[in-house]
Structure 1
Amino acid sequence: MKWAVLILAALVVLALVAMGVGLWRTARLADDIRARLDAVEPTTANPPAQVRDWARRMGATGAPARVILTQQAEIEMRPGAGFSPIPARQVIALSAPGFLWQARQPLLGPIPAAQVIDSYAAGQGLLAVRILGAIPVATATGPEIDRAEEMRYLAELPWAPDAALLNPALNWTVTETGFTVSLPSGASVDFELNDAGHMTTMRANGRPATGPDGGFELLDWEGHFSDFTRMDGRLIPKRGEVGYIRDGTYTPYWRGEVTSWQVE
């Protein structure tokens, strides 16, 4: 019995050490991505006058380097699976396309049930999922992920209005209902403005999504923003949701509320 207890204790210690190493590697990965975002040189952009006016109305000054926000959100990992809480912290670059989204599903103290890193930096997209914050269960990279993350960066510009004044990679077109914004790669989304001039609806065609067989399929994509609130001098939508169009039906897979927002 004594040896069994000792062996069990040793296994527990080894498991904790392995988990600690995994958590350290996950943190190191996030730090490396953040370093690439921080390495972006300050720039300025010259958008159409209507876009510049929108950015100014939202409070943009064209001075900061990044947005840092936190979210209380829910996510449905696959259709019909049900929503699970997933608090998150995000950094959005303003002078070049880039972001780092870190989400943790709570479990016990500092140990998360799952940790997700979704990012785009220096032209590369990444989606990484770690069980218990340490055990890799999914790591996705490649052209499809690059395009998906580029489109995410564009779709979240309502949370980063200063990018309209700072990011020269953004190509804006004024439409009857709002704006189309694209990147040199071809990634593009459309925004509709409401009567108050707020970006409330995002639509895009052909975003890469994981299909039932685990491969990629191109789906139309839609998002909605609401509850515009003044935060750190900017008029930011506190609430948002996003989903895919499947068989002609819009189904959200993420919805959440911005709990803090600042520029630096």
Structure 2
Amino acid sequence: MRFLIIVLLLLHSLAHLAALSQDMSTAAGVGWLMAALLFAGAAVLVFIRKAWWALGLPAVLVSQVLVILFWQDAKLGTVANLLIALAALLHWAQWRFQQETNREIQALLQADAGAEMIVTENMLQELPAPVQRWLQAIGLVGRRSIRSVHLRQHGWMKLKPEQKKWTEAVAEQYTTTAVPAFLWQARMKFLPFLHVSGRDLFQGGHGSMIIQLASLLPVARVSHNAKVDQSSLQRYLMELPWYPSAALQPYITWEGIDHTSAKATMTYNDVSGSATFLFSEAGELQEIHAWRYKDSDEQAVPMECVGAVREQKVMDGIRVPTKLDISWLLPQGPFTWYRLEISGLAYK
């Protein structure tokens, strides 16, 4: 797609330069040259992955005025202008969506002012035995606590059990621990030249979700919903293995179940939820279970959600799950709706 846009911009730029060989006024010649330079500049910005719409849209405006003035000879230029305008508009929408998300990320990170500390074995003494073994096995003891984590995901998603094709997604997530919050943003392929942008936010004990087609047309926007608040809090709890020192935070309490499992309950700003963590004898995390809301409407009821760990690796000094399957346990059987792989992780 990026290559095609560059080619189209350059060809249209050359077409405007070629028009200068025709008899025309000085003012018209300046206009054709200006459009050619703007299209060429836009092509350079596409190549270096900058906001090319800032030159592309003015170029289309100048070009279309010229096309109208020289309609008999230049009317085919309207087709190229429409294609470039559409591509520029979609890129502008993506840029605007990202700018809004970046502001939310900065607000989230600035709100977390937790003090750093070194995790010691004494801090684990009050935890259930399987949780202690897990935190020791992953290498948390002896290192500083995690204030925030930035991770990158590559995922595959299905919306319905009967759906055959998986939708590919690329996502980033920022999470803080002293003040529990996360922001997850994703870009999913919808059609070869069309995408869906999504953003999930959990902050102040409340969750919200935005889904937009081509980062422009709203598909879903949910906030101020008690079921979304609770489901978002439980998602934070289920994702604890990516920021495991949060297991020591006062908003999480633990209850041992047996030798290889424990229940964590999180309460924050009057919202509460629980998740059950299952471990191997050696303390390796295997599964996480929580009863969450799959939907947010009035008819929605809690369903069991399972995160199954398929692979673990040491990233930034801690052993974390890097491949997981996320499933809903529906009455007709398990529905794995999201498979993800962590491609990058950095702690602060």
Q: TM-score range by the shorter chain?
A: 0.7 to 0.9
1:221 aligns with 2:305: yes
Give, in whole Å, the separation in 2 of the partners of 1:244 and 1:146.
Answer: 18
| SS in structure 1 of the partner of residue 155 of structure 2 | strand
Aligned residue among 100, 113, 117 for 2:199: 117
Q: Give the match for residue 5 of structure 2.
A: none
Deviates more, 1:184-193 or 1:38-47: 38-47
Deviates more, 1:58-67 or 1:184-193: 58-67
Counterparts in 2 of 1:216 and 1:10: CA distance versus 1, 3 Å: farther
How far did residue 171 of structure 1 move?
1.7
Greater C-alpha radius of gyration: 2
1:23-61 superposed Cα distances (whole Å, 9 cap, x missing partner): 233113322331232121215796633445532331223
Kindly tell me the number of residue pairs found equivalent between the two proteins: 260
1:52-81 superposed Cα distances (whole Å, 9 cap, x missing partner): 553233122343321121122101123322
Question: Residue 157 of structure 2 contacts residue 337 of structure 2 at CA under 8 Å; is this kept in 1?
Answer: yes
Q: Give the match for residue 168 of structure 2.
A: 85
Deviates more, 1:18-27 or 1:46-55: 46-55
Q: CA RMSD in A?
A: 2.9
Higher strand proportion: 1
1:175 aligns with 2:257: yes
How far did residue 120 of structure 1 move?
0.9
1:188 aligns with 2:274: yes
1:249 aligns with 2:333: yes
Q: Give the match for residue 258 of structure 1.
A: 342
| SS in structure 1 of the partner of residue 139 of structure 2 | coil
1:202 aligns with 2:285: no
Give the partner amino acid of 1:37.
L
Aligned residue among 41, 56, 59 for 2:136: 56
Aligned residue among 123, 126, 139 for 2:221: 139
Question: Residue 159 of structure 1 contacts residue 237 of structure 1 at CA under 8 Å; is this kept in 2?
Answer: yes
Question: Residue 153 of structure 2 contacts residue 340 of structure 2 at CA under 8 Å; is this kept in 1?
Answer: yes
Give, in whole Å, the separation in 1 of the partners of 2:299 and 2:102.
Answer: 29
Question: Residue 234 of structure 2 contacts residue 274 of structure 2 at CA under 8 Å; is this kept in 1?
Answer: yes
| SS in structure 2 of the partner of residue 210 of structure 1 | coil
Give, in whole Å, the separation in 2 of the partners of 1:16 and 1:228.
Answer: 40
Q: Give the match for residue 36 of structure 1.
A: 107
Q: Give the match for residue 315 of structure 2.
A: 231
- Scaled by the length of structure 1, the TM-score of the pair is 0.85
Q: Give the match for residue 180 of structure 2.
A: 97
Higher helix proportion: 2
Q: Give the match for residue 246 of structure 2.
A: 163
Counterparts in 2 of 1:84 and 1:20: CA distance versus 1, 3 Å: closer
Give, in whole Å, the separation in 1 of the partners of 2:79 and 2:320.
Answer: 52
Gapped regions of structure 2 (runs ≥ 5): 1-70
Give, in whole Å, the separation in 2 of the partners of 1:134 and 1:257.
Answer: 27
Give, in whole Å, the separation in 2 of the partners of 1:157 and 1:228.
Answer: 14
1:71-127 superposed Cα distances (whole Å, 9 cap, x missing partner): 221011233223111121122222232212121124799x86111112212222122
Q: Give the match for residue 22 of structure 2.
A: none
| SS in structure 1 of the partner of residue 272 of structure 2 | coil
| SS in structure 2 of the partner of residue 69 of structure 1 | strand
| SS in structure 1 of the partner of residue 311 of structure 2 | strand
Q: Give the match for residue 70 of structure 1.
A: 152
Give, in whole Å, the separation in 1 of the partners of 2:80 and 2:332.
Answer: 55
Question: Residue 310 of structure 2 contacts residue 325 of structure 2 at CA under 8 Å; is this kept in 1?
Answer: no
Gapped regions of structure 1 (runs ≥ 5): none
1:170-226 superposed Cα distances (whole Å, 9 cap, x missing partner): 122222132211222221111111122122111122x11128x89533212111013
How far did residue 10 of structure 1 move?
6.1
Give, in whole Å, the separation in 2 of the partners of 1:105 and 1:112.
Answer: 9
Question: Residue 175 of structure 2 contacts residue 181 of structure 2 at CA under 8 Å; is this kept in 1?
Answer: yes
Relative contact order (alpha carbons < 8 A, sep ≥ 6): 1 or 2 greater? 1
